[in-house]
Amino acid sequence: MGDWGWVVWVLVAGLVLALGNVLWVVLVRRWYRLRTPLPQALKARCADGWELTVHVRRAPKRRFEEPVLLCHGLAANRFTFDFEPPYSVAHYLAEAGFDCFSVEWRGTGHSRLPPPGRRYTDFTIDDHVHQDGPALIELALRETGAKRAFWLGHSLGGLVGYAVAQGPEGAKLAGLLTLGAPVHFKSEPFLRTLISLGVRAAWPGRLRQEWMSASLAPFLGYVTLPLSDLVVNPLHIPPRIQRQVYANMMSSMSRKVLLQFQDWIEHDAFRSFDRATDWRAGISRLQLPLLVMGGSADRLATAENVESQYALVTSQDRTLHVFGRDHGDKMDYGHGDLIFGSGAPQEVYPLIRDWLVRHATDVSASEQKAPEAPASSG
């Protein structure tokens, strides 16, 4: 066989392997799909023309005026909050009487397609703050008729919430709840190496790690992936839930977003892409109600990180809670354990619900306060 013959065989073998992997991932996602009624899917158009898909879980009986905006973190999607009960914050809060709006940030899931003239990886965290956040708030308020909304963000979703609250849209927020959101970034060799590898692997546009996650999902619970406890602690999450999370929830990462994280890690900063706006310094100026939450075993947003973050807050209405055994909880919560840990529906979700209930406006009370229409004459 000549040289060209070997090349052809290699290309054919590569094509067969690629097609086999595509079929495998399709079957895995089909097998581990979530068996729960789909939420309502709405479109929110950003000022720059990018359309976001927002998944709405309506309350069976709406008790509270303010909707809850559920904002996922890096490399995730709407399934962070809108999963299969009992591991679904959206279902839990909807049953409590809140309309829930789960966003998928631009470049993620159903919000992947860019407007004409833009690449689907051409965005930074600044775009989440200045474009996506305002569009999400506007949609939720328009759909519910409310004047303000609550923002609940996990990891990057909490960081975006901090930044949005510092802008003109901050007045439209009734409260901000952050869950495992690290506003301090230690420049440790391990983190620097990890983010550097991520930036290189994402060349030229994005890191498609969700493909690998779905490919390996069926083996979780039998084997433990390296560094898996950075995302979710496999000891705290039922095996089938692990497999469903990795098959459904992981998303690709924009190289520009990773470059921004690299800047934060190397310089212990939480700031805009052009380094002109210091969002961490702005936290001290926030005066809206704040609930800052973390996990005692979280390696990305450590307990010390969350506590020092809380120390920046000057709002009169502020609360800190670190979930862990030292606080009487059943486990030491890691990063993803705060949502998918076996104890989360009994320990984390109720605290979120109770805080929201205390700060929300009862629908019946707001209706009673509404002025009556003047009687017509003649």
188 pLDDT more than 60: yes
Question: Which amino acid, one-letter code, is at 253?
Answer: M
Q: Provide the pLDDT for residue 366.
A: 59
pLDDT, tens digit, 9 for 90 and up, residues 228-258: 777 788 889 999 999 999 999 989 999 999 9
Q: What is the 3-state secondary structure (H, E, C) of 275-323?
A: CCCEHHHHHHHCCCCEEEEEECCCCCCCHHHHHHHHHCCCCCCEEEEEE
Please give the torsion angle defined by the CA atoms of residues 109, 236, 153 and 55, in that order, rounded to the nearest 10 degrees.
40
Half-sphere exposure of 167 (CA within 13 A, CB side): 19
Task: Report residue 205's pLDDT band, with 50, 70 and 90 as the boundaries.
Answer: confident
Q: Provide the pLDDT for residue 3.
A: 63
Distance of alpha carbon 26 from alpha carbon 248, whole angstroms: 11
Q: Provide the pLDDT for residue 369.
A: 54
CB atoms within 10 A of CB 268: 11
Name the nearest CA neighbour of 59 among 378, 356, 368.
Answer: 356
Cβ-based neighbours of 210, under 8 Å, separated by 6 or more: 75, 250, 251, 252
Q: Provide the pLDDT for residue 184.
A: 94
Q: Provide the pLDDT for residue 142.
A: 98
20 pLDDT more than 80: no
DSSP H or E run through 201: helix 189-201
pLDDT, tens digit, 9 for 90 and up, residues 45-88: 999 999 999 999 999 999 999 999 999 999 999 999 999 999 99
Higher-confidence position of 74 and 19: 74
Q: Provide the pLDDT for residue 226.
A: 72
Q: Provide the pLDDT for residue 328.
A: 92
According to DSSP, residue 215 is labeled H
0.95 cut: is pTM over it?
no
Average pLDDT of span 353-362: 98
Distance of alpha carbon 265 from alpha carbon 269, whole angstroms: 7
Q: Provide the pLDDT for residue 26.
A: 87
**Window from 21-25, 150-154, 303-307, 313-317 with minimum mean pLDDT:** 21-25
- Distances, alpha carbon 320 to alpha carbons 67, 75, 96, 140, 317, in Å: 22, 26, 22, 27, 11
**To the nearest whole number, what is the mean pLDDT of the chain?**
91
329 pLDDT more than 70: yes
Cβ-based neighbours of 330, under 8 Å, separated by 6 or more: 342, 343, 346, 347
Backbone phi, then psi, for 287, in 5-degree steps?
-125, 10
221 pLDDT more than 80: yes
Average pLDDT of span 314-339: 95
Domains by residue range for the chain, with CATH = 32-184+277-363 (3.40.50.1820)
Average pLDDT of span 119-125: 92
Average pLDDT of span 92-116: 96
According to DSSP, residue 365 is labeled H
Chain Cα centroid distance, residue 169: 19
Distance of alpha carbon 308 from alpha carbon 184, whole angstroms: 8
DSSP H or E run through 351: helix 344-359
Query: Which residues on adjacent β-strands are paired with residue 293?
Result: 179, 321
